[in-house]
């Protein structure tokens, strides 16, 4: 018989305290903070109160570089999104306004996280993070190489068709079952337009999601190029303008497209580890490279914290290392 955890009541109490603090903080920020408000908040958090007059207003200073973005345009039935701040912080990271999600950039990289609402109303599927990749595709001048596990994004389909029409060389590799043969795929439209598509034709999965534009931008991340990937599931995108990473992914793409070398048939040697403008970058490709030990080495080197997000977690070696 399973035993009830002795800490359940403590956990509920802690969660209640945190929620109360968050609600109070929102309330006082909306109404204007006074000494009474601030001391009440500090009391909820278990912190010492301040010696200020109870009715005295407490001034909150906002850096001049930070502005509040206007509310996103709403469509019927859509949950209103919170306003987001824009500007650049002390580390040079700039917030990128996203209608349905969050973004930031600095120097040679951009990163985006979507914010799915769970809506099944297709009218709400606008302003997602795929629009940023579509904009980049619309700016392509010579080549687009895309590896897509699944593909049915309307804006990305349109961007690839437009690129092909204006003379850009567009090529794709995909999974046979989840990409080429999926009932909702739009890859057939690309093939009809003359875009060459090569599938892996095997039981294993071609699970890559990356795009190389003009040999100068690499877009990758967890996001499938689909309605689900953008608007129903939590995902991310990252863009790099870093030559060694781009060459690494280009070599991997060429093995699949030119040689039909997918998964373990792909040769080793495309992975790289280097530093670009002070940022450590490492690329590793499954299944030909030792991805497991690459992750384990990072976990075992951790000194203070490990934060991870995973759609699926079944690897005991990594779990044991974390424990």
* Residue among 158, 144, 228 nearest 186 (CA): 158
Of residues 231, 216, 242, 232, the one with CA closest to residue 98: 231
- Number of H helices and number of E strands within the chain? 9, 13
* Distance between CA atoms of residues 56 and 66, nearest Å: 26
Say if strands 197-199 and 169-174 run parallel, antiparallel, or are unpaired. parallel
- Out of 214, 276, 289, 290, which one is annotated catalytic? 214
84 in active site: no
Q: 158, 131 in Cβ contact below 8 A? A: no
Q: Which one-letter DSSP state was computed for residue 180?
A: I
Q: List Cβ neighbours of 13 (8 Å cut-off, separation of 6 or more).
A: none
Of 170, 89, 182, the C-alpha closest to 137 is 170
Q: SS3 of 226, please? A: coil
Catalytic residue among 207, 276, 289, 290: 207
> Which residue matches tokens 């934060």?
307
298 is catalytic: no
The phi and psi torsions of 318 (rounded to 5 degrees) equal -70, -40
The CB-side HSE value for 131 (13 A sphere, CA atoms) comes to 14
Q: Of these residues, 110, 182, 200, 209, which one is catalytic? A: 209
Residue ranges of the alpha helices (H) in the chain?
8-31, 35-44, 130-138, 154-165, 187-192, 227, 243-259, 291-300, 316-322
Q: Is 209 a catalytic residue?
A: yes
Output DSSP code: residue 104. Answer: E
> What are the residue numbers of the active site?
207, 209, 214
């Amino acid at each position: 018989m399973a035993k009830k955890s002795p800490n359940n009541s403590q956990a509920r109490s802690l969660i209640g305290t945190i929620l109360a603090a968050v609600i109070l903080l929102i309330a006082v920020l909306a109404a204007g903070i006074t000494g009474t408000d601030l001391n009440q908040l500090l009391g909820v958090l278990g912190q010492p109160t301040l010696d200020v007059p109870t009715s005295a207003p407490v001034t909150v200073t906002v850096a001049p570089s930070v502005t509040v973005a206007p509310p996103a345009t709403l469509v019927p039935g859509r949950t209103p999104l919170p306003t987001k701040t824009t500007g650049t912080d002390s580390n040079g990271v700039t917030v990128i306004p996203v209608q349905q999600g969050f973004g930031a950039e600095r120097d040679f990289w951009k990163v985006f996280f979507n914010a799915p609402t769970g809506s099944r109303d297709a009218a709400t599927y606008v302003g997602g993070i795929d629009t940023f990749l579509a904009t980049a595709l619309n700016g392509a001048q010579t080549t687009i190489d895309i590896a897509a596990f699944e593909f049915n994004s309307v804006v990305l389909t349109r961007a690839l068709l437009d690129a092909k029409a204006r003379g850009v060389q567009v090529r794709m590799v995909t999974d046979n079952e989840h990409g080429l043969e999926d009932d909702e795929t739009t890859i057939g439209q690309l093939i009809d337009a003359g875009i060459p598509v090569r599938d892996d034709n095997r039981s294993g999965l071609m699970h890559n999601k990356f795009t190389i534009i003009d040999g100068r931008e690499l877009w990758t991340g967890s996001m499938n190029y689909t309605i689900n990937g953008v608007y129903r599931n939590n995902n991310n995108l990252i863009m790099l303008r870093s030559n060694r990473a781009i060459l690494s992914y280009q070599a991997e793409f060429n093995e699949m497209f030119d040689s039909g070398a997918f998964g373990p048939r792909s040769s080793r040697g495309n992975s790289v580890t280097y530093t670009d403008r002070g940022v450590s970058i490492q690329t590793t490709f499954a299944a030909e490279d030792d991805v497991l030990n690459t992750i384990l080495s990072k976990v075992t080197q951790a000194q203070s914290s490990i934060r991870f997000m995973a759609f699926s977690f079944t690897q005991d070696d990594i779990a044991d290392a974390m424990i």
